[in-house]
Structure formats: structure tokens, C-alpha cells
Structure 1
Amino acid sequence: MARRVLILVEGATNMLLFVQAAKRLGLHPVALSADTARYDYLAAEGIEAIRIDTGNLDALVGECSRLGATYDIAGITSAQESTYATVGKLCRYFDLPGPNPESIERCCDKFAQRQLLAGAGVPIPAYRLAANAADIESAAAEIGLPVILKPAVDSGGSNGVRLCRNAEELAEHTTYLLGGKHIWRSSPRILVEEFAEGPHYSIDIMGNEVIGISVLDFWRPPHFVYRELTYPAVLTDDEHDRIADVSLSCLRALGLGWGPTNFELRWTKRGPVVIEVNPRLPGSPGPQLVQLAYGVDLVTEHIKLVIGDEWNLRRSNSQTAAARFLVADRDGTLDWISGNSRAAAVSGVAEVKFFVEPKTPIFRKYDYRDCIGHVIAASSSLAQTKAILQRAVDLIDWSITPFPAEKE
């Protein structure tokens, strides 16, 4: 009998979680990636990683057909938003369970997403689409400062996203986005949005069921670099219900509801305002926190859906779980980073993870890529979890030597 294989087309920060979950389900995972070096850790798991242009549907069909001659393809999926629509097309081609690719493509275009949500009466920030500096200046004047400036596509993890509080910051970020520093896969399309002020929440849905609502804190503006993520968010019953209702309205408006969806919104003076909808699982450490807080393994249950098995979304836990992100405070060379063993020994700490090795050059991007590690903790109460996190983080330290100043 042919071995059952799960094909993973890219995996972002969740690739290892998918590989480990697939193996627990008795599947043989195979990773397809345009850059297999980013998953070099898979070799230790004995996992095959095949280099291929994951933006080329025909090439992927050919590779999956080749794998199908040796294996029984149980399912095809991805944890990366930019390849998720392609996965939907692959699943349709091979008659496997998968997401609707047209719905995914519309959702991944933040301008198209905004239009659909607005048409359905979902509360969203005021917005305009811009293609050049004049458009941006005009849109900001219409909406009124402060505004958010971000790419209409590929802005995940706050990539290219900035709060512009005045004309100087607006001009500065316009230059960044249009002056060659930001990498565009196609012609520049920029969203200029009203800044929705208030607590920032992240909502995880599987199918049509709300699994968890977390609160996400950022380091200081004008950038949106993650500081802390906590499950569950402290909400009144009314706030919880209103957030859940708005999230489900988004699903209907966008034609989603198969598999996982992650929402971000802010609670403003006018209630919940949707910031964005992501047709995928949350990035790591979101799935780990959901499992600690609620006892639901999002990755495993997603794979069950992908291979046609019945999932189990029943909660088996009730804790407060939180992650603190360790963020580089300057550009330079990471001399050393230490304290992980001491931090991991603190009672209640679930994981301490460093993402970079000593002697690594650090170039801050002012988005998720500035995180050099995280600490995860869980306990029976919010106050206790926060205290555990702080004790652990206080035991970690690092040194970054700034790059030498260039001579004029």
C-alpha cells in the first residue's frame, strides 16, 4: 500500500508545526518551497523538501503528479497566505478537500476585501486606494491625519505598514514604499486608511466556529511590531458576542468558511472595526497559545479537514496563555543572546525560543521580522501568566554591536 503523503506548499512560521502534526496523524509530509533553505530544520525531522517555483501552478501540478505516482496524496495545504489560493486550485485539480481559491484571492487583496466588507455593511476604517505620491497625499487629506499607509497586497505581519501622524511621516513612508526600498511583486497599490484607535484583538475561527479571541499589544508607534499576545482577551459577554457576530459577517461577505480564518479588529468608540481578514491560521505562536488556552490543536484539526477526516474543535482546557516577543532594539551584529535555559526553568513557562544565532547581522524592518525570539507562558489566571512571563523575560539578555558608521 502506498504511503499517505501530506503536501505542504510553503509554511511560513508554522511549517514545523504542520510537519509534526502530520507525522502524529500517520502521514508523510513533503514540503514544496521556492527557498528550501528557509526550512533547513526539516532535515532533522527527516522531511523531504523540494525546491520549486511555488508561484507556478503548472509546475506544482507536475510535481504533485510526480509525487502521486509514488505516494497516496492524502491532502495538499499551506500555512502561507500568499500561496493559499494556489493550494485551493491544486486541491480542485486533484479533487481534494480545499479552500475556494477565488474567495482566497479576493481576501488577499486588501482593497478588494475592503470593498466586499463595506458592501456588506461590516464596520471598517475609511479607506482610499493610491498608486503614487499625489494619490496618497490627496487620500490622507480626505480622510484626515493620522492615517495608516500599507501595501494592498502582502502586508502580513505589518510588512510595509506604518502609522503616519503628520505630513512629515506621511512623506517619509510614501518615499519608503515607492522609492525602491519596499519590494513589490506587481505595480504599487497602497491603501490609505483611517487610524482606528482602541484595543487590538485577533480572532481565530475554524469553519464557522469562533475558537478564540486574543488581545495583541505592540511596541511603540509609528510601527506595528508585536510586543505581547494573550489568550483569551478579557471581554464582557456583550463585547465577545459583538466581536463574534462581526467576524461571522466577514466570513459571509468574503465567501469564506472552509477551514481556518484569522481576523484582526480594534474596539473603537463606535465598537468593533475590522482591520483585516486573513484566510489562514494565525502565525506562530498563535496555534501554540490556542492549544495552551483552550486545548484545541488548530494545526492538527486543520490537517484532518484537509485529508477529509472529521475534526474535533471541542475545548478541553481553560487557561490564560501569553507570548512576549523579544525584539531587537538597534541595527548591528548580535554578539550573544543568553538566558533561555534559566527562563525555560521558570514554573509556568511553556517555551523559550530564539530565532537568531550569535554573530547574525540585524537589520530592523519594523515589522514581525524584528522579533528575535519569544517566551510563552500559561497559568490559571491572567495576573499569574503576566508575572511568569515577566520573570522569564527578565532572565534573558543579549548584546548587539552597532555597525561601524560609514565614512563620508
Structure 2
Amino acid sequence: MQTIVFIGSNKSGTSREALFVSTNMGYYTVLLTNRKSFIRQRKEFSEVQQMIYVEDLLDKNIVLSIIQELQQKNKQIEAVISFIDPFVALAAELSQQLGIVQLSTKALSLIENKSLVRKHITELPVSPKHIIYHIDKPIDEALQQLENSFPLVLKSPVSNGSKDVLPVNSVAELMKGLQYLKKRIPNDVILIEEYLDGPQYLIEVMVVNGEISIIAVIEQEILNGARFIVTGYNYPALLNIDESEKLETAVFKIIRHLQLTNGTCHLEMRNVRGEWKLIEINPRMSGGAMNRIIEEGTGINLVKETIKLFLGLKPNLKKTVMNYVYAKYITIHSLGKLIKITGKNRALKHDEVKMVYVKPRKGAILRKPQSMGDRYAYVIAVADSAEKAKKTANKAAAEIKFYLEPL
């Protein structure tokens, strides 16, 4: 039986969509998960034919032994895939070891670590000022290197979804942020970077045999005063010819410098006074609603084409439509226990709204946003202009109300 093994998944978003796509493509779909809640909720994963709990998904030997057991039970492993950090490089390594497909395992592993990426692209003009701070060293020298140029940004080298990414505006905030991250990070280094001021964009990329394809460039809107929480996605980004050409040149240089020749990634970049700077790069396509945004805007199901890449098949990246798409994410401004949510059906009734998704269930504890995981709903609208798509999505999103019991 032709089988695809997925290492890890979230409850929703790109990684969950991949499970549905795999099954719809006719494959026996196996999910290895380290989430006990998924095992308890097994009936909710109807698209998964087999779910296996693995406490440590990064233990290559354990994962390999499970795959070998599947093979012994007449499962023909056609692909090993992950759409979430930090399992992307592991999946690529196992794919190579099993003789399925040759992916850029070294590059994908490198991209999973933000401090290693900074080391490798320091010489490129896209790299911001930064230092890799060892937590057992005095902070004074680091501050001198950065010339006390607040604001700064602190990052865990293995953060994703804006988790453990802290803006700091003074020495006091810096010290507090360092103490916070020291308790949370699994290694002994913290990235300290200059704050880059300018509009931010997400760039989805696929590389096949060294040929780099920019699938989509999407402008991001970031919530004021939060930890870089993106609440709006605008496709296509409205760039002039010069901005677009400079962006393409910068992206190509980064990809080639990191020696990514087979794989996918997404970059987040800011246009700082006409120059492109890299915020971060991740070795997978973006999560959340990204696949639906791209499919509505271009006709490309990027999840499906990524799976084809891991299967050793040729992806089809031809754009068949050209639409303006806006995705509005909803956050809340207080802490509380969810009593009920209203307005989803009203939001769906708005013309040009294509999708409304609400994540939390009754009884969930909701809070002010501290990471991308604290976005609790989104609305996707498609129109014949960027302005109309945004207006429609915002209007529909305003219909959704969260009722909380204060804590």
C-alpha cells in the first residue's frame, strides 16, 4: 500500500491540510505525533489512516524503526514529510536514507537554526546588525557591539510563530528579556538583532534542482505593540518594479548562499528605506491559512505541490488565476475562559468571503497575543482589487465575537 508518513502536525493550518491532501491523492496516510491530545481526539482525524504516538519525534532511530515496522506490514513508503519545525530536516534525511528523494538536508537543517543562518549570511547586505550572545557571557560587550542602538530584538535561535521573539527598548527591558529567554530556550545562545523599521513581506519559495521559484509575495500587517503578531495578509504584495526586482535578487542570493537546491522555504523580509533585509527564513511553507491564500490567489495548491516534491515528482507551479486575497486574523484583548463565539455564519454570508475559521472551543482559556498561536480566528476574502478584498475581510471579521468569563 502506497504510504506517506508525516512527522508532526498542528491541529489546523498547513500541516493539517497536508494530511487531507495526502489522503485525497490516494495515499495511506500515517501521522507520527508527540501530542497526547491528538491520540485522545483520534476520531477527529478522519483523514489519517494510522496515528502513532512518539514521545520524541526528533529521535531519528525511533522514527526509522517505526517506518521499518510499517514496511514489514506491506506499507510501501513513498514519502516522509514534515510541515512543522523542527522536523523538516529530519524528514528530508529519512527520505534520503530510504532512497525516496534527494533533498537539501544540510541546508534545511541549517535553516532550522536562526543563529546558524545569521552566521552564513553575515556578509550579505540583507543581513541586519546582530550578535550571537552566549548566555554565560557579560552583556556589556554585546551592547558595545550594537552601540546601544535601541530598539533591539531578542530571539531564540529555534523560535517559530513569533514565540520567544521579544522587542526591547532599553537596557532594563533587555536584561528582563534575556532572563526570560534563558529559562525557555533549549540552548545557550540568544540572537540580539537591530530592530528593522519598514513594511514586512512573506515570500514563499520552492527550489527544484537548483531552480528557484518565488510562488507568492504577501504583505503582512503586524499588530501594534505586540510581539510581531501578524494579523493581516495581503496577496499579491503591491510592489513597484524596482522593489520587486531587488526583492527577487535578494531572495535568490540568500537561497544560493544557503545552498538550498531541493526543498521549500518561506522568508520574512522588510523593506528598510529601499533596501531588503531578512527578518527570518524557515525551511517549510508558512502555516496557518497560507495554503488557502495562495490557492485563492494563484490557483496553486502549494501543499500538494510540496508533497509531490517529497514524493520525487515534478511540482506544477503554473499560476492559473490572478485574484486579490486578504486574510484577516482575529485576536482578543483580555484573559478569560471562552463561554461562546457568535458571528461565524454572518461572516460567511458576506459577498466574496471564501473562508471563515474559528479555532478555540468552549471552555478554552484565551489571552492577549503573545505568539501567532494566540490568533483565534480568520476570514479570507477574494476580490478584484486589494482594497475591496481587505475591506470585505475586515467587515466580515467584525461579525465574530468572543464571550469570555474573566479570570
TM-score, structure 1 as length reference: 0.92
* Counterpart for residue 163 of structure 2: 159
- Root-mean-square deviation over aligned CA pairs: 1.8
* Counterpart for residue 148 of structure 1: 153
Gap runs ≥5 in structure 1: 404-408
Secondary structure of the equivalent of 1:85? Answer: helix
Cα distance in structure 2, aligned partners of 1:96 and 1:122? 37
* Counterpart for residue 103 of structure 1: 107
Task: Say whether residues 1:30 and 2:30 are aligned partners.
Answer: yes
Is the 1:136–1:174 Cα contact (8 Å) retained in structure 2?
Answer: no
Is the 1:318–1:380 Cα contact (8 Å) retained in structure 2?
Answer: no
Gap runs ≥5 in structure 2: none
Is the 2:104–2:261 Cα contact (8 Å) retained in structure 1?
Answer: no
Among all aligned residue pairs of Structure 1 and Structure 2, give the percentage whose two residues are the same amino acid. Answer: 22
**CA 1:236–1:47 in 2, change beyond 3 Å: closer, same or farther?**
same
Is the 1:140–1:147 Cα contact (8 Å) retained in structure 2?
Answer: no
Secondary structure of the equivalent of 2:376? Answer: strand
Cα distance in structure 2, aligned partners of 1:261 and 1:311? 15
* Counterpart for residue 193 of structure 1: 193
Residues 286-335 of structure 1, C-alpha deviation per residue, up to 9 Å, x if partnerless?
11101111111101111111112221100001011121111121222122
* Counterpart for residue 59 of structure 2: 56
Read off the aligned partner of 2:203 and give its amino acid letter: I
Q: How far is 1:172 from its partner? A: 2.5
**CA 1:112–1:341 in 2, change beyond 3 Å: closer, same or farther?**
same
**CA 1:238–1:277 in 2, change beyond 3 Å: closer, same or farther?**
same
* Counterpart for residue 267 of structure 2: 263
Cα distance in structure 2, aligned partners of 1:135 and 1:104? 32
After TM superposition, which residue ranges in structure 1, 4 or more long, deviate above 4 angstroms?
133-137
Read off the aligned partner of 1:211 and give its amino acid letter: I
Q: How far is 1:236 from its partner? A: 0.5
Residues 96-148 of structure 1, C-alpha deviation per residue, up to 9 Å, x if partnerless?
115322212211111110111123x2421100011338644542443211100
Cα distance in structure 1, aligned partners of 2:137 and 2:366? 34
**CA 1:131–1:122 in 2, change beyond 3 Å: closer, same or farther?**
same
In the alignment, which of 355, 359, 376 is matched to residue 355 of structure 1?
A: 359
Is the 2:115–2:157 Cα contact (8 Å) retained in structure 1?
Answer: yes
Cα distance in structure 2, aligned partners of 1:31 and 1:250? 32
* Counterpart for residue 311 of structure 1: 315
In the alignment, which of 116, 128, 133 is matched to residue 130 of structure 1?
A: 133
Matching of residues 179-258 of structure 1 within 5 Å: 180=183, 182=184, 184-185=185-186, 187-207=187-207, 208-258=212-262
**CA 1:124–1:217 in 2, change beyond 3 Å: closer, same or farther?**
same
Secondary structure of the equivalent of 1:105? Answer: helix
Cα distance in structure 2, aligned partners of 1:291 and 1:95? 31
**CA 1:320–1:159 in 2, change beyond 3 Å: closer, same or farther?**
same
Read off the aligned partner of 2:202 and give its amino acid letter: S
Cα distance in structure 1, aligned partners of 2:81 and 2:6? 5
Read off the aligned partner of 2:82 and give its amino acid letter: S
Cα distance in structure 1, aligned partners of 2:226 and 2:358? 25
Instruction: Give the number of aligned pairs.
Output: 395
TM-score, structure 2 as length reference: 0.92
Is the 2:226–2:369 Cα contact (8 Å) retained in structure 1?
Answer: no
Cα distance in structure 1, aligned partners of 2:48 and 2:90? 26
**CA 1:150–1:46 in 2, change beyond 3 Å: closer, same or farther?**
closer
Secondary structure of the equivalent of 1:45? Answer: coil
Residues 153-199 of structure 1, C-alpha deviation per residue, up to 9 Å, x if partnerless?
2x111111111122232233223212x3x3x33x3310000111100
Is the 1:206–1:257 Cα contact (8 Å) retained in structure 2?
Answer: no
